[in-house]
């Protein structure tokens, strides 16, 4: 579709989103980036964060747990480790995941520090994002 971007978000758990949108902003490992139709092609790694898309007057918010983005003039393909639309985030589950990871951090000799802090980061961003609904 002319002047639109096809936004596809795919994870090992399934396809999370497939929409024609006007604009995408996401968290690359080298910083936030924005894409409009006609963008030059590029590929980047993504850090755990929030993808925001604009569709007409609507804004959509999606949690992304690291991965890759492949951008071309009419397409943004996100391959993420996991992802959820803001409205699908289960806050109780994220709170429990964060509590578990925080408990692991206390067991200093046994823990995998990077794994526990990554779990805390995922849970914290999910908790922050969970209240956001698509704005119309």
Interacting residue ranges for ligand ATP, rule: CB under 6 A: 13, 65, 82, 84, 88-90, 93-94, 97, 119, 122, 126
CB 24 to ligand ATP: min, Å: 19
CB of 134 to ligand ATP, least distance (A): 16
Contact yes or no for 16/28 (Cβ under 8 A): no
Report the residue number, 10 or 59, with the smaller CB distance to ligand ATP. Answer: 10
**In angstroms, what is the minimal distance from the CB of 122 to ligand ATP?**
4
Between CA 63 and CA 50 the distance in angstroms is 5
Cβ proximity to ligand ATP: between 104 and 122 the closer is 122
Q: Could you tell me which of 64, 69, 55, 61 has the C-alpha nearest to residue 132? A: 61
The answer to whether the beta carbons of residues 51 and 68 sit under 8 Å apart is: no
Parallel, antiparallel or unpaired: strands 31-35 and 14-21? unpaired
Contact 68, 33 (CB under 8 A): no
- What is the spatial distance between Cα 116 and Cα 83, in angstroms, rounded to a whole number? 19
User: Nearest distance from residue 27's CB to ligand ATP, in Å?
Assistant: 15
Q: Between 51 and 89, whose beta carbon lies closer to ligand ATP? A: 89
Q: Which lies closer to ligand ATP via its Cβ, residue 44 or residue 124?
A: 124
């Amino acid at each position: 579709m002319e002047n639109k971007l096809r936004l596809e978000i795919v994870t090992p758990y399934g396809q999370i989103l497939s929409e024609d949108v006007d604009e995408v902003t996401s968290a690359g490992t080298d910083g936030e980036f924005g894409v409009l139709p006609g963008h030059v092609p590029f590929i980047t790694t993504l850090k755990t964060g929030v993808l925001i898309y604009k569709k007409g007057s609507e804004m959509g918010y999606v949690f992304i747990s690291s991965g890759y983005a492949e951008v071309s003039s009419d397409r943004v393909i996100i391959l993420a480790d996991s992802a959820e639309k803001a409205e699908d985030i289960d806050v109780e589950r994220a709170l429990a995941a964060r509590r578990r990871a925080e408990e692991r951090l206390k067991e200093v000799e046994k823990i995998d520090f990077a794994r526990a802090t990554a779990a805390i980061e995922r849970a914290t961003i999910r908790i922050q994002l969970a209240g956001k609904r698509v704005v119309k």
